Amino acid sequence: MFAARSRRAVAAALAAVLLAACGSGSTSLPTPAPTVAPTTLLTRLGTDTIAIEQYTRTATHMDGVLVSRSPSTRVSRYSIAIGRTGAPTRVDFSVRDGNNMALPNELQSLSVRYSADSVYLVGHRSTGDTARAFAVRGPVLPYTNNSYALYELAFARLLASGRDSGEFAVVPLNIAARTPTPLAVKLIGADSARINFFGFPLYARRDTHGRIIALDGTKTTVKVRVERVATADIEALARDWAAREQAGASLGAASTRDTVRATIGAAHVWIDYGRPALRGRDVWQNGVLGDTLWRTGANAATQLHSDAELVIGGVTVPAGTYSLWTATTPSGYQLVINRQFGQWGTDYDRKRDLARVALHEASVATPVERFTIELQPQGASGAQLAFTWGAKQLSVPVATR
């Protein structure tokens, strides 16, 4: 009982601090300055448009609307107060469905206040508020998935300071956030920038005011391209996407998760993997999705488990759990069997490789939209491990002794 009261007291105190800093404490967003023309960014994954963002930025405020449609249509609104140094001091953030209706049992809005060394968050639900605070070091940068306009805040601060690079403390607009993530940004010449997007380069083209013209995320794990377009009625677009979703024509998740299971001789085998979609892309150029070492799926590393010894491509694989990777070599593709497992799909340690075996390459008559792994039976104690995506299939024999 005492602990519960203490938590409520802390939440109330944080809320009071934040509301005092934010004036009335209202989570409604002010209308962007009418004298500033809005900028519109379109985000594509392959040929699919997955988000559109429209915003205005002045010396004191940045206000925007972000509509995303994967896995379902969501409308996010943000209003950011900017201090004299160019640093964000406050954010009001809200999320609704495509018809501007509140999301049941989910966070309705979020209020955030930044101080010199801390961030305070208050999440608003119909059932009550939740408060959180944690320390930050360095200049902060708000972040939410599918928003690329927010990087302009980093560009503007660097341009104002006369520096060409800096490290920012990324704070997600999420009540579950517990710690910032460091993010390095470097301005290149007068019209470009490189963002260290969680360990991968996100390249930006910008104008002399630091406004985004385009971004290339094909070297990152999200694989998107972003471009500035003419203004659009994104409220109407959100309603259209929501209507398509309700009619059963949702864009769906960028990648789904699946598990394939099989009995090979005396071995019980399962493979857990992510299933990205083609979305109009030629995914087999320059490796797979541009990677010469691919996670053989999406998101978390692909895992294979067997309760008995296997022989894969002529190599003995003891019973246990492994991660599977696909390597591109001058002579073709290889399956990499690695002793590490349970990690994110960008965390690969070559020192823990068990083996690399050649994969047989073939074409399929009907292209496969979502990446698919199969264990196809081959006799009483064998199978073919097959990876199929687009018009290509890679395979290797699997057997028990």
Task: Report pLDDT digits (tens) over 289-343.
Answer: 988 999 999 999 999 999 999 999 999 999 999 999 999 999 999 999 999 999 9
Structure confidence at residue 14 (pLDDT): 40
Structure confidence at residue 70 (pLDDT): 79
Tell me what the mean pLDDT of segment 35-39 comes to. 75
Radius of gyration of the chain (CA): 24
> Is residue 163's pLDDT more than 50?
yes
Structure confidence at residue 364 (pLDDT): 96
Structure confidence at residue 103 (pLDDT): 86
Helical ranges in 22-144 per DSSP H: none
Tell me what the mean pLDDT of segment 273-299 comes to. 93
Least confident of 4-8, 257-261, 364-368: 4-8
Structure confidence at residue 299 (pLDDT): 92
346 in helix, strand or coil?
coil
> Is residue 106's pLDDT more than 60?
yes
> Is residue 36's pLDDT more than 80?
no
Tell me what the mean pLDDT of segment 13-21 comes to. 38
Q: Summarize pLDDT for 125-153 with one digit per residue, the tens.
A: 888 899 999 999 999 999 999 999 999 99
**What letter represents residue 360's amino acid?**
H
pLDDT band of 352, cuts 50, 70, 90: very high
> Is residue 77's pLDDT more than 90?
yes
Structure confidence at residue 224 (pLDDT): 95
What string of H, E and C letters represents the secondary structure of the chain?
CHHHHHHHHHHHHHHHHHHHHCCCCCCCCCCCCCCCCCEEEEEEECCEEEEEEEEEECCCEEEEEEEECCCCCEEEEEEEEECCCCCEEEEEEEEEECCCCCCCCCCCEEEEEECCCEEEEEEEECCEEEEEEEECCCCEEEECCCCCCCHHHHHHHHHHHCCCEEEEEEEECCCCCCCCEEEEEEEECCCEEEEEECCEEEEEEECCCCCEEEEECCCCCCCCEEEEECCCCHHHHHHHHHHHHHCCCCCCCCEEEEEEEEEECCEEEEEEEEEEECCCCCCCCCCECCECEECCCCCECCEEEECCCEEECCEEECCEEEEEEEEEECCEEEEEEECCCCCECCCCCHHHEEEEEECEEEEEEEEEEEEEEEEEECCCCEEEEEEEEEEEEEEEEEECC
Tell me what the mean pLDDT of segment 171-193 comes to. 95
Tell me what the mean pLDDT of segment 185-214 comes to. 93
> Is residue 19's pLDDT more than 50?
no
Structure confidence at residue 17 (pLDDT): 36
pLDDT band of 226, cuts 50, 70, 90: very high
Structure confidence at residue 26 (pLDDT): 37
> Is residue 155's pLDDT more than 50?
yes
pLDDT band of 260, cuts 50, 70, 90: very high
> Is residue 63's pLDDT more than 90?
yes
Tell me what the mean pLDDT of segment 265-293 comes to. 93
